[in-house]
């Protein structure tokens, strides 16, 4: 086949149907001679390439001969551009995507809970082993962590508890005054601080302050392969790194909770004296009458449980760190 003349978009209307109608039965080889082409644009190059592709699909070996270098480069460019379009992305199903996210989150939560329970079992068995061999308890590490999580947390715990006590007393007095029941501000303050807020606030502060610090410390050791080195020399990372931290939290959190209760009540006392014109003795008598001792114990019983959870989660997440510094932050 010989192509001649001007093959551009303005003159190919008559040529295109003839090329589409080609039916070379019995032919095994074909050559398209382009020596006679005067002009070739992208449309003409596409038609030549399409014809070549159509014949090749019928089992015919097609070659291009006599092409001008410029024309040959254009046809080659068209050949490289002949790729199928990308598949259209299906329209998202919002309901299915939400169900998928929910399922993934549920499975991840179950896996995390299983890993945490396994870690708790490991820590408990290690703790029982230390009870049998108390000489293995690392008192220096325990005292060090007690200072960090307990003694060093006193300023921030005391400040926030004091301010919370003042706010509760002020807001309670402001609302109860409308009903002539300002005296019940002490009831509100005592029950809320001793039963709930003292332990909860202390646990939140310690979780943000000490729990994240445990994760960062152990995670950095994990990144630097120090934990692997501990295992290599025959030591247990749980015994060396986890138990002192968890034990320190279990001991320190009840003490911090008592301190937070006292500071919260002191803050409420200051506001009661300023707003309600109540004396310290009246406040103490009303507090003793209104708040049973059991409310104090309810708040205190929660503290070691909170400490155990904070320590377990913080240390477990630290040991789960993989990769670099970004993983520690995550």
pLDDT 10s digits, 89-131: 888 888 999 999 999 999 999 998 998 899 889 989 988 988 8
**Of the ranges 20-24, 174-178, 204-208, 219-223, the best mean pLDDT one:** 204-208
pLDDT band, very low/low/confident/very high, at 244 (cuts 50, 70, 90): very high
Tokens in use for 223? 């990144």
Express each pLDDT in 295-316 by its tens digit: 899 999 999 999 999 999 999 9
Domain-wise residue ranges, the chain: 2-81, 110-329
Average pLDDT, the chain: 88
pLDDT at 323 exceeding the cut of 80: no
Show the tokens assigned to 19: 């090329």
What per-residue confidence (pLDDT) applies to 78? 84
Considering the four listed CATH numbers 3.40.50.170, 3.90.1150.10, 3.30.750.24, 3.30.465.10, the one that applies to the domain covering 2-81 is 3.30.750.24
Tokens in use for 264? 């919260």
Per-residue buried b or exposed e for 320-329, using 16+ beta carbons within 10 Å of the residue's own CB: ebeeeeeebe
Q: Which long-range contacts (CB under 8 A, 24 or more apart) does 165-168 make?
A: 165/189, 165/193, 165/263, 165/264, 165/265, 165/266, 165/267, 165/268, 165/269, 165/271, 166/267, 166/268, 166/270, 166/271, 168/192, 168/193, 168/197, 168/264, 168/268
State pTM to two decimals: 0.67
pLDDT the model gives residue 309: 92
pLDDT at residue 305 in the model: 94
Average pLDDT over residues 67-80: 83
Q: What pLDDT does 149 receive?
A: 92
CA 279 – CA 285 distance, rounded (Å): 10
207 token code pair: 């979780």
Residue 18 predicted with pLDDT over 90:
no
Q: How confident is the model at residue 253 (pLDDT cuts 50, 70, 90)?
A: very high
Q: Residue 230 pLDDT more than 80? A: yes
Q: Which of 6-10, 125-129, 166-170, 318-322 has the lowest mean pLDDT?
A: 6-10
pLDDT of residue 151: 92
Q: Check whether 276 has a pLDDT greater than 90.
A: no
Rounded CA-CA distance 173/271 in Å is 9
Query: What does the pLDDT read at residue 259?
Result: 95
Give me the pLDDT at residue 291, please.
86
Confidence of residue 136 (pLDDT cuts 50, 70, 90): confident
Rg (C-alpha) for the chain, rounded Å, is 40
Q: List, in order, residues 6 or more apart from 248 with CB less than 8 Å away.
A: 142, 145, 146, 148, 149, 150, 311
């Amino acid at each position: 086949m010989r192509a001649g003349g001007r093959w551009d978009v303005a003159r190919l209307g008559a040529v295109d149907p003839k090329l589409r109608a080609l039916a070379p039965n019995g032919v095994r080889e074909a050559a398209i001679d382009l020596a006679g082409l005067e002009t070739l644009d992208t449309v003409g190059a596409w038609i030549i390439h399409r014809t070549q592709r159509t014949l090749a699909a019928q089992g015919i070996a097609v070659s291009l001969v006599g092409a001008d270098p410029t024309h040959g480069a254009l046809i080659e460019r068209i050949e490289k551009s002949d790729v199928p379009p990308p598949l259209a992305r299906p329209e998202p199903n919002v309901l299915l995507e939400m169900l998928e996210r929910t399922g993934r989150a549920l499975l991840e939560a179950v896996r995390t809970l299983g890993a945490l329970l396994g870690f708790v079992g490991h820590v408990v068995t290690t703790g029982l082993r230390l009870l049998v061999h108390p000489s293995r308890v690392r008192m220096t590490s325990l005292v060090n962590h007690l200072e960090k999580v307990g003694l060093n947390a006193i300023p921030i715990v005391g400040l926030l508890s004091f301010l919370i006590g003042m706010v509760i007393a002020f807001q309670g007095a402001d609302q109860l005054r409308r009903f002539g029941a300002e005296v019940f501000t002490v009831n509100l303050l005592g029950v809320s601080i001793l039963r709930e807020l003292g332990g909860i606030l202390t646990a939140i502060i310690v979780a943000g302050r000490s729990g994240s610090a445990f994760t960062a410390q152990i995670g950095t050791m994990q990144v630097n392969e120090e934990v692997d080195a501990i295992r290599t020399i025959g030591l247990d990372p749980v015994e060396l790194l986890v138990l002192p931290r968890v034990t320190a939290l279990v001991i320190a959190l009840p003490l911090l909770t008592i301190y937070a209760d006292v500071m919260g009540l002191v803050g409420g006392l200051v506001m009661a004296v300023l707003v309600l014109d109540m004396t310290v003795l009246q406040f103490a008598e009303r507090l003793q009458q209104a708040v049973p001792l059991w409310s104090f114990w309810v708040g205190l019983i929660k503290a070691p449980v909170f400490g155990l959870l904070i320590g377990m989660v913080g240390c477990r997440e630290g040991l789960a760190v993989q990769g670099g510094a970004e993983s520690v932050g995550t």
